[in-house]
């Protein structure tokens, strides 16, 4: 993948959208210029069964309309069934080795928090790594404590050719810190999902880099 594709990495599930119209939010974000999308339907209020799959397909269709990569969080079966563009996994999901073996050439992203996790991700040709939470976040129940940009900076310095996206509490106001530390882009849930003007917010993420 090209590292520019990580510039504004939008992540969403229906649980992140108060209006009950997540597809409308996704389409606004796509129109506004997000560069990649991750389907992350998780938590107590998440859709399940057929409703989950139908919603994923609807999100994928919108991403295809705007020619933006559609990445599935955690659920490799869904990623394969829908022929998604990629899969993003954390450390509690299936192993990086198994994920790479099963998805072949699709985009693989891995969340890493330590150098040893990073080395495993690289060993199995991760296309990018997600590093966070950089700042405090309310969008992930089991998030680790916020770390700031130190680890991200260490990774960017040691692995200059590895695409990196920062995540966790990122807003248009702090995005430049992530980029200055060596991130190629920012992964965002709430600053976009809860924005009253998604067009303006996405533009600000790009301008403030
Ligand atoms: N992963 P927001 S933080 C999905 O640290 C996710 O790996 C994180 O949401 C990690 O932009 C996070 O609302 C939530 O803070 C990001």
User: Is residue 40 among the annotated active site residues?
Assistant: yes
Q: How far is CA 157 from the centre of its chain?
A: 22
Residue 45 has pLDDT above 90, yes or no: no
User: Is residue 140 among the annotated active site residues?
Assistant: yes
Quickly state the pLDDT bin for 1 (edges 50, 70, 90): confident
Average pLDDT, rounded, for the chain? 96
Domain ranges of the chain: 3-207
The finding on whether 93 has its CB within 6 A of some atom of ligand 1 is no
The finding on whether 132 has its CB within 6 A of some atom of ligand 1 is yes
Residue 61 has pLDDT above 90, yes or no: yes
Q: pLDDT for 153-186, tens place per residue? A: 999 999 999 999 999 999 999 999 999 999 999 9
* CA distances to 100, 126, 128 from 123, in Å: 10, 8, 12
Name which residue sits closest to atom 3 of ligand 1, judged by CA. 168
Cβ–Cβ < 8 Å for 133, 111: no
User: Is residue 19 among the annotated active site residues?
Assistant: no
Quickly state the pLDDT bin for 208 (edges 50, 70, 90): confident
* CA distances to 40, 63, 82, 115 from 70, in Å: 11, 6, 10, 28
What's residue 141's pLDDT? 87
pTM: 0.98
Strand locations in the chain, DSSP E? 8-12, 36-39, 70-73, 86-89, 107-111, 128-131, 164-167, 185-188
What's residue 25's pLDDT? 98
Catalytic residue among 28, 40, 100, 106: 40
What's residue 58's pLDDT? 98
- What ipTM, to 2 d.p.? 0.99
Tokens for 169, please give them. Answer: 């509490």
Considering the chain, what percentage of its residues have pLDDT values greater than 70? Answer: 100
What's residue 44's pLDDT? 87
What's residue 20's pLDDT? 86
What's residue 93's pLDDT? 82
What's residue 46's pLDDT? 93
What's residue 80's pLDDT? 98
* Fold held by 3-207: TIM Barrel (3.20.20)
* CA distances to 52, 72, 149 from 26, in Å: 16, 15, 28
């Amino acid at each position: 993948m090209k590292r520019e594709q990580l510039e504004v990495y939008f992540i969403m599930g229906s649980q992140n959208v108060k209006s009950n119209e997540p597809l409308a939010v996704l389409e606004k974000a796509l129109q506004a210029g997000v560069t990649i999308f991750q389907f992350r339907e998780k938590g107590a209020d998440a859709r399940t069964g057929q409703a989950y799959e139908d919603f994923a397909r609807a999100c994928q269709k919108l991403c295809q309309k705007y020619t933006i990569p559609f990445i599935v969080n955690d659920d490799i079966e869904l990623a394969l069934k829908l022929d998604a563009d990629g899969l993003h996994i954390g450390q509690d999901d299936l192993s990086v080795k198994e994920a790479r073996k099963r998805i072949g050439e699709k985009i693989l992203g891995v969340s890493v928090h330590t150098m040893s996790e990073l080395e495993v991700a690289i060993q199995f040709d991760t296309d990018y790594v997600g590093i966070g939470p950089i700042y405090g976040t309310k969008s992930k129940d089991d998030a680790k404590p916020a770390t700031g940009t130190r680890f991200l900076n260490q990774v960017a310095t040691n692995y200059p050719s590895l695409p990196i996206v920062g995540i966790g509490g990122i807003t248009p106001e702090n995005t430049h810190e992530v980029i200055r530390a060596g991130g190629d882009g920012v992964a965002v849930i709430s600053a976009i999902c809860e924005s009253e003007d998604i067009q303006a917010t996405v533009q600000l993420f790009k301008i403030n880099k």
